[in-house]
Structure 1
Amino acid sequence: MGDAIRKLREELPVVFYREPSFDIYRDDIVFKDPLNNFKGIGNYKRIFQALQFTGQIIFKAVWIDIVNIWQPVDNIITIRWTVYGIPRVPWEGNGRFDGTSEYKLDKNGKIYEHKVGNIVRNSPTKFKLLPVVELIRSLGCPSTPKPMYFETSSCLSLMQWRHFG
């Protein structure tokens, strides 16, 4: 089990760029996610190839952060992960997916089932990092002076009209 945990911890963050080693999986592995069920190591390998292909087409950069790894019961490894991606679009943007992977291991320490779940797209971040310009604006200090006497307020004009009208 230690070998499986070590390899998952090392290989999962770079799975969009490098094929993982498949020696920790059984040939009859079952993969499950909310939409799919696949069986067999050949199909499992194709899942990673598809991830790499779509990841490189859709994103300029894409990576996985492992948030937590734990063993809720014997022979099960659970990983909470976050996938970050910067899409290939002309405007600024990014994507985020949070989820879990549950791996079931046999008595020999080989993974025979991988189940993905709890997927949340663009979940809120705990802390938002702002560029310096946005940080200054959020503090109420515009970066360039803006004379107030050039602005007119329709509300003020209406109030003045009622008062003097």
Structure 2
Amino acid sequence: MGYAIRTLREELPDVFSKEPSFDIYRDDIVFKDPLNKFEGIDNYRRIFWALRFTGRIFFKALWVDIVSIWQPAENLIMIRWIAHGIPRVPWESHGRFDGASEYKLDKNGKIHEHKVHNVAMNPPTKFKVLPVHELIRSLGCPSTPKPTYFEISSQSLSVAPCYLRLAWARCYLQLCHMLSLANLGEG
């Protein structure tokens, strides 16, 4: 059992680039996912070959992160994993699949069933890491909305001189106008 856990922990991250060891599996292994069921070690080998083949064609980089491994029962190994991929496309992109693998073992510690479930494609991230230029841009933006009480109607704005189209210029002219009215009232 310990050998199977250790082998899975070491080999799962490289499953898209290297062929795994098959000595931890029985010859009559059954693989199940939400859509398929395969039986036998030869078919199980073909699954991994197909993953490596299609991965090299469609992705620049492809890897697996193991989130956790635990043993909820004596004959069961559970692995929560995240598969990441950077596809071969002309724009910047990243794909992600979260899922879990359940491995059932016989009394000799050999895996006789591998079941994949809870697969989620591109789940929402809890935190977004901003690039430096977006971080600087977000810090430079005011946190309060632009006041609209000095706005001039769009009709008068279209015929107004270009300096009046600037909000700060309109505010300044409104302030000067109010001060001149106040001075007229005092005089």
TM over 0.5: yes
- Structure 2 gaps of 5+ residues are 142-147, 158-187
Quick one: distance in 2 between partners of 1:44 and 1:91? Answer: 34
- Report deviation, 1:138: 2.5
Quick one: distance in 1 between partners of 2:61 and 2:4? Answer: 27
Quick one: distance in 1 between partners of 2:138 and 2:63? Answer: 29
Residue 31 (1) aligns with residue 26 (2): no
Residues 135-155 of structure 1: per-residue CA shift (max 9 Å, x gap): 2123235xxxxxxxxxxx9xx
With CA pairs under 8 Å and 6+ residues apart, which has the higher RCO, 1 or 2? 1
Q: Secondary structure at the match of 1:56?
A: helix
- Report deviation, 1:51: 0.4
Match of 1:22 in 2: 22
- Report deviation, 1:68: 0.3
Quick one: distance in 2 between partners of 1:84 and 1:132? Answer: 23
Q: Secondary structure at the match of 1:65?
A: strand
The one-letter code matched in structure 2 to 1:158 is S
TM-score, with structure 1 as normaliser: 0.85
Quick one: distance in 1 between partners of 2:33 and 2:138? Answer: 41
Match of 1:84 in 2: 84
Match of 2:110 in 1: 110
**What are the within-5 Å matches in structure 2 for residues 51-62 of structure 1?**
51-62=51-62
Aligned-residue CA RMSD in angstroms? 2.0
Match of 1:158 in 2: 153
Residue 140 (1) aligns with residue 135 (2): no
Residue 46 (1) aligns with residue 26 (2): no
The structure richer in helix per residue is 2
- Report deviation, 1:159: 6.0
The one-letter code matched in structure 1 to 2:133 is V
- Report deviation, 1:157: 4.6
Quick one: distance in 1 between partners of 2:154 and 2:8? Answer: 68
- Report deviation, 1:131: 1.4
Residues 34-83 of structure 1: per-residue CA shift (max 9 Å, x gap): 00000000000000000001111111001000000001111100000000
Identity %: 72
Match of 2:178 in 1: none
The one-letter code matched in structure 1 to 2:81 is W
